[in-house]
Amino acid sequence: MTTLLDLGDESFVSLTTYRRTGKPVPTPVWVVRDGDDLVVWTSRDSGKVKRLRRDQRVALAPCSRRGRVAPDAPRISATARVQESEREVGDAERLLRRKYGVQFHLVTTIERVVTLVRRRSSPRVALRISAG
């Protein structure tokens, strides 16, 4: 049986958050283990963060880079907390940088360029995901 922490070994995980109506919104994310939890690093202004501020319930499943979840993939229910302190966000960034290496560097470099072009940046937050 797959546990929450087992999902920390996956390259991509579908993180499902819920709209006010209860409609699920899946998003493929990078995820890393941190103790007994999983951690995600994302933009403070993202839809998933807005939804999590209202409803901390999440569902997770292994997925492809594009978010495709296999029909027989395990699905795990959990709760997620938005963390905004400099230390928590920095810790999440370091853990993800260690796990994803060059991929992490490439994606964050592209994000910096896009931020310069748009002249608008959104601070990062960490999402701490816990069992049950």
Tell me what pLDDT residue 100 has. Answer: 92
Q: Which two tokens stand for residue 23?
A: 């409609």
Is 3's pLDDT higher than 70?
Answer: yes
pTM (2 decimals)? 0.88
Q: 112: part of which helix (H) or strand (E)?
A: helix 86-118
Tell me the per-residue pLDDT of 63-106, one tens digit each, with 9 for 90 and over.
999 999 999 999 999 999 999 999 999 999 999 999 998 887 78
User: 79: helix, coil or strand?
Assistant: strand
Q: How far apart are CA 54 and CA 62, in angstroms?
A: 24
Pick the CATH number of 5-131 from 3.90.1150.10, 3.60.20.30, 3.40.50.300, 2.30.110.10: 2.30.110.10
Assign residue 49 a region (left: φ > 0; alpha: ψ between -120 and 50; beta: otherwise). alpha
Domain ranges of the chain: 5-131
